[in-house]
Structure formats: structure tokens, C-alpha cells
Chains A and B, each alone.
Chain A
Amino acid sequence: MTQAHAIRPRDRDAILQSLRAGVVPRHGLPLIQVGRVAEVKATLADIEKIADGGSSVRFVIGSYGSGKTFFLNLVRAIALEKNLVTCHADLNPDRRLHATGGQARGLYSELMRNLATRTKKDGGGMPSVVERFVNHAIQEAKTHDRSVKGVIFDRLERISEMTGGYDFAEVLSAYWKAHEEDNETLKTEAVRWLRGEYATRTDARKALGVRTIIDDGNVYDHLKLMARFLKLAGYGGLLLCLDEMVNLYKLANTQARTSNFEQILRILNDALQGGSEHLGFLFGGTPDFLTDTRRGLFSYEALKTRLSENTFADQAGIRDLTGPVIRLDNLTPEDLFVLLSKLRHVQASGDAQKYLIPDEGLTAFMQHCSQHIGAAYFQTPRNSIRAFLDLLAVLEQQNQPDWRGLLRGVVIQNDGNPDLAPLDEDSEGAPSTPTQAKRPAKDDLHEFTF
């Protein structure tokens, strides 16, 4: 085992670099996690439920900068440790749950590109899970002297009956064939199909000989299929993290919004009624996305009844985490203090001797931030964290670190909420077809053909 207190350089760099760039790190989140014990416990129970063959849906709701993305990533990290496979994606105008212009497929592709296992935490894990499954098939084929393709189809028998299942099995066996023949192109094509990157059936048929593709209409079916497949491949199940759900709220077209909400309802119903197995969803969004009765989820009556929070618990001042909604409170100054000291700890690679700034410095820093941007310094700490890490970076270069001298020079900006900006988005009536599909591909070597 590695030493308990030492922080791996990879984790340290990932944390510091990402936070300085203003994004949530992908690694080492537990090292800088502050508070949120009840929420973590609730999602941990969800993860166990998924691994046991169940399904779950959670809406992680918090205002801008309250740490939704951080929380989603934290849950993702936990799920990976528990041998689940995770996929994550941010919704945006080109990625939605329901669409007719390729945006739902766009979301699926993004999710699958970010497919992560605990070995491939950074995503790009599709080949890994496929190979793990096929490896088992190869072993079985050897032991029982059968054809690998036959074993693949047998093992996927249950899946074959689901929507798109037959071609799914075909594509897996194409992957295996490609591996045997060292045909990297075919391998890539197989992975592209699995990631939903084919826009037309003709292309898929040319490349893989299959007749169907993953498209807008069957995205959710394929997610369910993928969850079952992952179980067969030896994982606990699939956890999907969809962030920036506010983009659905921002959709100008009512029809488009409603269709997306209907898809959410379908997912929610499936989860509550056991229509999906080994599959979990985490949706991250702002309070507007949930409760706005004009354009939020609550504008859709069926969702409103299912997602309304326990008013009795509210009145009693208790947090009820048994419902699908998890509300994230803003951080407190005390939370931020703990967070800063954790960052200091990470920056020093876990060695208290190397702390660049004493506790007194942390308080002084917070005071400085407070003077500049008021309460935002702890409520939406993104910029405070950036400034703090910049400060540490400069201190690190100094021979005799003098935090007092540098503190007055620290510039801290107020964090603007981009959600307030209008969405430069097309309406469903004129779907934004990916540019790729619009224009015929230019032929790279056309001038050299015979």
C-alpha cells in the first residue's frame, strides 16, 4: 500500500492545475472535500443500489458556484471506487436528452467518450470495457473449444433482444475480429459505433456491416443496454452524470423543452418502477431549472408531483434526502477555511513542514477576499480558490516566502453567473445540425485518385 499521508504527484498537479484554471479537478477530490456528509451518504446508498441491480435518479440542485460540479465529480469518483463505470457530460445546445437534429446522439457520444472505469479515470474507457468482455469470451471459447463469435452472441443473448441489441453484439464481434487481424481501422470504427458517432446508417453499414445506428430516437434505450452490458463485462453498473441541466431550462422552444422533460420523466419512472437495471442518473442543475414553474421541471406537472420536496421536513428544519432531490447549500466561511487549509496541505504534497502560509495567513487571506468581493468569497469560492492558489504559486518561488507582502497584491474578481446570460441557441424548429453533416466532406486525396 502507498503511504497514507503522501499525496500522489499526479493528484496534486491535477487538483492545483484544474482549480487554478477555474474547473473542477478530475482526480483526488476526496483530498479537498469539505462537509456534505449527509449528501455523500445518500448517494453512496444509490451507488450500492445500482451495483445490486437497481436504478436511481438524483437531482443535485444548487445555485451558481455552490459546488454542483464538484459534488457530481466526487460522487463519480466514489462510484468508480465501487467498481461502477461512469459517464459524464455537460448539457449544451448541441447536447440534449431529446432532440431530432442529432443533439441527443451528441449527448450520448459525449457520455461515451467520457466513459471511465477505475483504471481509466480520465475517460476513454470504451475499448477497455469492450476488451474486458471479449477477453472473457476468448477464454471461454478456448476452454470449451467454441468460436469466439458464438460465445459473444451467447453471452449477449439477453441484450440481443433489447433495442439495437443484435447490432451491438455484431459490433462487439467486429471489434474482436479487428483485434485478431490487427485491423486498427475496423477497431476504431467499432468503437465509433459504440460511442454513437455514426450519423448515417449507410456509413455504419459500410464500415461494420450493421444496419442500425445509435441515433436521437434510441439514446435512452442504448444507455440501458450499455448498463446491462457493463454488468455482463464484470462491472457493478453504470452511473451517468449530466451537468448543466439549466441548458434545458434555457431552451427557448416550448416543444423542445417539453420533449426533454418527458424524457426525464421516462427516466425517472423507469428508475422508480424498476424498468432499468444497474443504471443511475445524477442531474446537476440550478434551482431555476428545478422549480421555475414556467420553464423549469416544475412546469411539467408530472415531474412536479414526483420531485416536490418534503414540506414537512422543511418545516421541521430537517433535510430529507430520501427523495430524488439533493439541495446543496452554499459553503460557509468555516467551510472555506477548511478548504483553504486542505489546499495548502495538497500544495505541500501532504507535508506539514512545507506549508507556505500559516493559519493566520489563511484568515488574513479570507479577510482580504471579503473586502474585495464580500460574501461571494465563500459562497462561490471559485475565484477565491484561484487567487489563493496563485498566491501559493508565487510563495513557492520565493526563497523566503513573505505572504504578508504578497497578500495586498492579490487581485480577486467577482464571479459572474453565466447562467444569467441568454442562450444563443436555435429553436427546435430549426435544429442545429452538426456542421459536419451539413457539408459534404472534402476528399483529402481527390486529386491523387486514378
Chain B
Amino acid sequence: MNMFWYLVMGVAAIWLWRRHHHPTHPKDESKVVTTTPKSPSVPQNEQPSQPVPTGRWYDKSVSIHGFILPRGMVYGGNGLPDMDRSGITQREPSLLNPLLPVDKTHPDRMGTTLTYWPGYDRITPQARAAYLEFLAGGANLPETNIGYVFIYYYGLERRLLLDLAQEQEQQERMALIQEILRLLGLFGANPSFSRYVGNLLNYLALKHDLLETLNLTPLLQHSPDIIWTLLAKSIQQGKNLDADLALKWLALDPEFRPRTPAKRLPEAFLTLFQALFDQIFPEGMKFSPSKSRLTVTYAPASSALAGQPFQFKSLLPDMSRHTKHLPKLREIAERCMDEMDPYSRLLARDAPRAQTLAGLALLPPPLLRDKLKEKPLNPFLSMVKSALDGKQRVVLPAKQILNHWPLSNPNTVTRQDALLVAQLLAKFKVGMEPDVRFGSKAIQPDGPVCLFRMSERGGQSASPAFTSATNYLHLAVLMALADGTVDHRETWHIEQHLMEQTDLEPYEKERLTAHLAWLIASNPKLDKLKSHLQKLDAKQARLFGRALIFIAMADDNLDPAEIALLEKIYTMARLNPALVQQDLAELHPSAKPDPVTTDDLEVFTLVDAPGPREYRLPQPTAGSLPSDATKADLTMTPLDSHPPVPDEPIGVSLDLGKLRATREQSQEVQEILMQIFSQDDEEPAHPPALPEPSDLPAIAGLSGNHLHLFHALRERATMAREAYNDLCRKLGLMPDGAMEVLNDAAYNLLGDPVLDGEDPLEMDLHVAKEMMS
């Protein structure tokens, strides 16, 4: 036994001595791989008594079996020290052992004889020839079998992990890393290879602090360890998280799933994420380091090194378990995807249209930036700019705008077209009236539009106060038209009145002023009213007539022209014109102001104290503003508000029941007014409810259009999301809701969903079939 240990120690001493005299980093240019002549190829379970390994690293040009390997970067010889350098040699798959036979006549270039774990010592002589040929050619043929590439890689890996484990060999280390990156460029398509390379570079980058010197390849940029390292470094340097790193971090979050918009338009997603992130965190996101340390592990590809992963515990904080900030980032990303969704869907449905103004109208503002100087946005914006010409608002023919717009039918403007025009303009803080979002009809191609500057962007819907105010504008303009024209004085008064309203927000006032300008410019004719009026029943017509009388007599003065107009309108509404006088007598302020006791048709309450929502008609004389005390106020209560209760009772006690009735009637008037004036179109025509498909099998839980949808889908294994949406649209169904209903039926019948996935949708044909049986 003692003899054995002496032997071991002896061998170790010789090996150390040789190592000293043959440094691993030879200065001389080695030309030929040599080995001890009698040493056999080295078996795995070699006994310590066997010859000392002569293998070493060659970092310059080297020759073997007549092949000149220009780069070197290989191990050559009959054996190499074990991992812990205990002197025991072992099988090293990358070691070029010159004693092993090479069959140059039949090189196995395709690598057909290679096994899963190849090694120079265990491949066939034919494969060895091919491998040496590959190295001699500079290891740069992309079609080379990945097995050969791995044999080469094993050597580089071993050199980096074992021989160059210390800091001082930075120069050689960088050269080897460059070589590995070169290989990655050629063979990165192989997932296994790129994974090993990525992991190795991660490990080295962290261990040897190479992040700054290493030019990060895309592979590394998205590697978790690298991102966590970058995060940790950023914290250590006291920096806040920036958008770029934030998004990379988010990409590692298993809870985060990029949806179609982010996948379809990755660059736009990045831009938008950055914009939104910078908006929310102008100075970057603050975060604190975690207490645990970042550890990076590399499991080597080489079988000689496998089994014991290389682990490096850094001094950097480990951010991989730091999940506190991820929800915030997810939220930003979700918002980005939501905002990109409309454009992304148009792109899928109709790519050419996405390039037009109609498509750009769907883009969130940050994504419009780089389109500003290009067609079609640039000419359109120039036109708008020159039209506004520094003014607050301008009325111009609709044609001027529509000429730029890609209308599907040049003679009509659909609500969708009008919506997009308004949405695009709003991104540049320009408003347009009429605007379908605020209750108007679509632009008329031969009519006017009013463009105006908005002090803030946004606004999607009319508030009840806004709707009431537009009704007021229409009535007021109609009355102002009694003498045939609306003059400046009248306009001034109406505007003045709008400005006094306390329940309108400034942005609503801006829009209403523009609405007024548009209304006057569109020169409403009484004749146009006729068709609307004729649709009213007698009661509705009377309510409308009385509303007009209120407007007309608000100035305590009814001139004959106004009375004539009122009579004309009454006639149009198929009411007896004589009723004008009767209603006047009832509603005139000189009549008893007793709103609570008036008849059933009483709609408007006369109040002394200004309520929260009143519309007072202006005095006709220029310069004098309406005075609260002298004049009747017209209260047009919005649909959902409570009627104003006067601060002081006006001599009568209020009956709550009647108050309620009054409120309801006010609502009724609102509805009539909305019906008459160019308000929101009637509800868009739905596709008709299809009859129950009697010739098709009925399915429990599905009826009507849902059943039709099921039958339209049931034989399609997959369907693009857009096609599905279109199908639902044709059937008058909302797509996500319809999916719920279909799946519900399937779950109830069979316990499995029938539709799955986002885009494309997958139909479980088996389930569909079962559902019908």
C-alpha cells in the first residue's frame, strides 16, 4: 500500500516538474502535435501508474497528420490532467491524440458516424479526418455537422474553465471568447450549441467582469443571467432602472405574456414601452437591491467536465427573485399592447390600409413621431396647419380634409371614417366638429367642418351636460335664424352664455364654441327640420314647440318675426298654429309663475335662484349681459341629474311626486331634441337576427346567432383572429363574448372548451363533433 502512495506522489512530482518546464502557455511556436511514443490512447479509468500526460494547449498554428490547423486553439497529446489536476489523466474529447489513426481517404464529412457525445478519441478514423479537415479549413464551414463543432468547442471550454480560471490571462481569454462568438455566428442556429455558448459566456462575463468589454450579442442581451447582472450593476452604481433594461427584465417574467401586437410589431412595442415608461418614470424606476447574492452556474458541454457544474457566486445582488416591481412593468406593457391593438389588427386585416391616414389614426402618439415627415401624414398636417394659420378655430369645407382621406366610397363619409379623422386630428390637439364621438352625425362631404385648437388632448364621449348644451345650441341657432341670418351679435350672445355655464369643463366649452361655428356655417334651413318634425307624435311635437317658445321669449320680447316662425314650425309639426298663442299665454313670464301646478305637459321649471344646470338665453342687446333677476331661466335637466331645487321656496311648497314627473318630462324633451337635431344617428342597423337554423343540429346552450356562429366554425381547425372577428361582426356578435358562450356550452356538455388560443383560434374538432351528437 505504501508503495502505491509513493508511486502516486512520484508521478505527481514529475508531472508538476514537467508542467513547470512546459508552461500551458508556450512561448515557442509549436508546429507538430507530439506525444510520448509508446503511450497508448488513454482509457477513462486509467491507473496512476500510467505515463504522465504530455497533452497541452496549442494556441498557434499546429500540424497533425499533415493537416495544418491555422488557428491552433486545440489540445494535443496523449492525455491531459484531471479537472482538479491531481495528476490523473482522463479522456478529453477535444484532445488531438496523434497516435489515433486517421483515414484521410474517406473523410466522413457528413458526420454520419458521429454519436451524440462525440470525442476525438472515440470517433471513427474517417470522422477524425473530417474533423481535422474542418479545423484545417479554419473551422468556418457553416454546414459542418454540429458534432465536429462541439469537439472543437469542448477544447475551448476546457481551456477557459480550467486553465484560464485565474484573472491574469485576460488577453487569451478574450481571444477565445472571440473565437466562440465567431462560431456562434456560424452555428448559432443550433439551439443546443447556442444555449451552451450563451451559458458559458454568461458565466465568464460575470466571473471575470467582462460585461463592459464584451460586445453583447443578441443572444446574450436576452440571457437571464446577463440581465440580472446588468440589473445588479445598475443598482450598485446607484442608477435607476431605464426602459430598455426594464423591458428585458420583464421578458424574463414567467407571468408576462406578450400578446399579438407585441409579437407582430416588436420594434413599435419597444418604442411605445420606452415612451410610456419614461412618461411614468421620468428619472427611471427606483429599486432597492435584494440581500441574496447573484450566483451563476455553468454546466459544461464536455463529457470530461460534466457532472460538476461550475458555479460562481458574485458580490452582486441577486435580482432573479426580486419580483416587487414586475407588476408595474407588466402594467405598462399591457397598456402598450392595448394601445397598439387596433393598429395591429388593421395590419393583419388590411396591410395597405394600415399605411394610410386611416391606419395612422389608430397609432398611439409616440409611434407617430417618425411618420411626421413622411407621406401621407406630412401633407395632411401641413394642410391643417395652413388652414388654422395661427387662429383658434377655422371653418373650412369638408372636402379640404376629405381630399386627403382614403374614403372607401368617395361620395359618402361613414361614421367610421369620421371617427378616424377626429381621432387622428386629436393626436395633434386639433379638434373637429362635427364629431361622431360627441353625438354629431358624420361629416357631410359637401358641408363645412370646424377645426379648433384643443388645450388638451383626449375626450371620447359627451357628458350629459355637454349633450344638453348642444341641444341648447341647436334651439338657439334655430331661433336666431328667424330673421334669415345669424349675425355676430347673436353669435356673441350664444357664446357668452356657453362660457357662463359652470358645469361644462373648459375643453367642453372649446368644443361647443366650435360646434356653434360649424352649426352656423352649415346654415341650417327650416325645411330640413320638417322631416324630423313629422316623425313626432302630437305630444312630442307640442313639447318641442314649447321648448322653442321658451328660447324665444327668454328675452321678454317676442317680435312678430319670431311668432311667425313659431307658427310655421307648429304647422310643420302638424300642430294647429293657433296653439302658439295659447302656449305663449301659458308660458310667458308675465303669466303666473307656478310651475308645480301647471298641467301635465309642463316641462320647464321656472326658478329664481340659478340652479346647477341652467341654460339662460342671452339678451339681444349688445353689451348687456343677461341678468339673473329679471328673466326666466330655462332649465334643461340632463338625463340623470336631479332637478335643481331652488334655494328659497318661491311661494309654493314642492310636491316631490310632481317634481319627479317634471324630471321625467325633462328627460322626454331631451330625447325629442336629440331626435330632431343632428344628434347621434339612430342605432346602427344590426344585421338581422337570423332564424334558428332548423336544418342544422340544435346544441344545448346555444341559440340564435351563437348557433350560427358555431356552425360556421365547427369544421375549421384553426382560424385567424381577424377572420373570426369579421365573422362575429357579420352575425352582430361581440367576438370575446361569443367565445365565452360557445365554450360555456361545450364545458357544460363535455367539460372541455371548444375554442382555444388567441390568434389563431383553435377549434377542438373532436369536441365540436361531440357537441352535435
Residues of chain A at the chain B interface (Cβ within 8 Å): 1-2, 17-18, 21-23, 81, 83, 92, 110, 113, 117-120, 122, 127-135, 138-139, 141-143, 147-149, 166, 174, 179-186, 188-189, 191, 202-203, 205-211, 234, 394, 397-399, 405-406, 408-409, 411, 416, 418, 421, 424, 435-436, 439, 441-445, 448-450
Contacts and interface: CB of A to CB of B under 8 A. Distances in A.
Given A206-B458, A399-B117, A445-B427, A133 B737 contact: yes
Contacts of A174: 461
A450 B384 contact: yes
Interface string B739-750: 111011001001
A122 B327 CA distance: 15
Given A132-B740, A142-B689, A435-B281, A444 B339 contact: no
B358 to A, nearest CB: 11
Contacts of A406: 307
Interface stretch (B32-40, B361-369, B577-585): B361-369
Contacts of A130: 737
Contact of A209 (B281, B342, B466): B466
Contact of A83 (B115, B463, B744): B744
B80 interface: no
A281 to B, nearest CB: 21
A135 B734 contact: yes
B527 interface: no
Contact of B299 (A21, A182, A394): A394
Given A181-B419, A399-B115, A442-B282, 20 more contacts: A2-B752, A83-B747, A117-B740, A118-B743, A118-B753, A128-B736, A129-B737, A131-B734, A138-B732, A142-B688, A166-B640, A185-B460, A188-B338, A234-B740, A411-B309, A418-B321, A435-B280, A444-B366, A448-B381, A449-B430
B458 A207 contact: yes
Contacts of B741: 132, 135, 234
Contacts, number: 195
The range of chain B's interface size is 35 or more
Interface string B701-712: 000111000000
Contact of A1 (B338, B369, B750): B750
B306 interface: yes
Contact of B428 (A118, A149, A435, A445): A445
Given A142-B689, A406-B307, A186 B755 contact: no
Interface in B613-654: 640
B763 to A, nearest CB: 13
A1 B753 contact: no
B338 A450 contact: no
B341 interface: yes
Given A142-B732, A181-B416, A209 B737 contact: no
B334 interface: yes
Contact of A129 (B281, B457, B640, B740): B740
Interface in B387-411: 388
Which of A113, A135, A206, A416 has most B Cβ within 10 Å?
Answer: A135
Which of A117, A183, A441, A443 has most B Cβ within 10 Å?
Answer: A183
Contacts of B453: 449-450
A182 B416 contact: yes
Given A118-B743, A450-B429, A442 B278 contact: yes
Nearest to A93: B324
Given A207-B460, A208-B461, A442-B278, A408 B309 contact: no
Contacts of B341: 184, 188
Q: Pick the 5 closest A-B CB pairs, nearest first.
A: A131-B737, A131-B734, A184-B342, A399-B116, A132-B737
Given A119-B743, A133-B737, A139-B705, A113 B331 contact: yes
B628 to A, nearest CB: 26
Nearest to B690: A142
A344 B276 CA distance: 43
Interface in B749-772: 750-753, 755, 764, 766-767, 770
Contacts of B339: 188
B372 interface: yes
A189 B342 CA distance: 13
Nearest to A117: B740
B437 interface: yes
A405 B342 contact: no
B733 interface: yes
Given A113-B331, A394-B299, A435-B280, A205 B738 contact: no
Contacts of A424: 288
Contact of B461 (A191, A209, A439, A443): A209
Contacts of A179: 734
Given A189-B460, A436-B280, A444 B257 contact: no
B444 interface: no
B459 interface: yes
A24 B341 CA distance: 29
B45 interface: no
B735 interface: yes
A210 B639 CA distance: 12
A449 B431 CA distance: 12
A404 to B, nearest CB: 10
B462 interface: yes
A307 B164 CA distance: 63
A122 to B, nearest CB: 7
B736 A127 contact: yes
B416 to A, nearest CB: 5
B86 interface: no
B113 interface: no
A439 B283 CA distance: 11
A399 B306 CA distance: 14
B327 A119 contact: no
Contacts of A184: 341-342, 362
B423 A139 contact: no
A147 B689 contact: no
A180 B636 CA distance: 29
A207 B63 CA distance: 76
A138 B686 contact: yes
Contacts of B423: 183, 185
B250 to A, nearest CB: 14
Contacts of A133: 737
Contacts of A203: 458
Contact of A445 (B311, B365, B752): B365
Which of A122, A205, A394, A444 has most B Cβ within 10 Å?
Answer: A444
B505 interface: yes
Interface in B410-445: 415-416, 419, 423, 427-430, 436-437
Nearest to B301: A397
20 contacts: A2-B764, A22-B321, A118-B743, A119-B739, A119-B740, A132-B737, A133-B737, A139-B704, A142-B732, A181-B419, A181-B684, A183-B423, A184-B341, A205-B505, A206-B459, A211-B463, A408-B308, A444-B365, A450-B388, A450-B430
B292 interface: yes
Contact of A207 (B338, B459, B751): B459
A210 B278 CA distance: 29
B597 interface: no
Which of A129, A185, A424, A435 has most B Cβ within 10 Å?
Answer: A185
Contact of B766 (A1, A92, A120, A209): A1
A219 B308 CA distance: 54
Nearest to B116: A399
Contact of A131 (B282, B366, B427, B736): B736
A147 B683 contact: yes
B592 interface: no
A147 to B, nearest CB: 6
B699 to A, nearest CB: 16
Contacts of A92: 324, 327
B254 interface: yes
A408 B307 contact: yes
B736 A209 contact: no
A142 B686 contact: yes
Interface in B249-297: 254-255, 257, 275, 278-282, 288, 291-292, 297
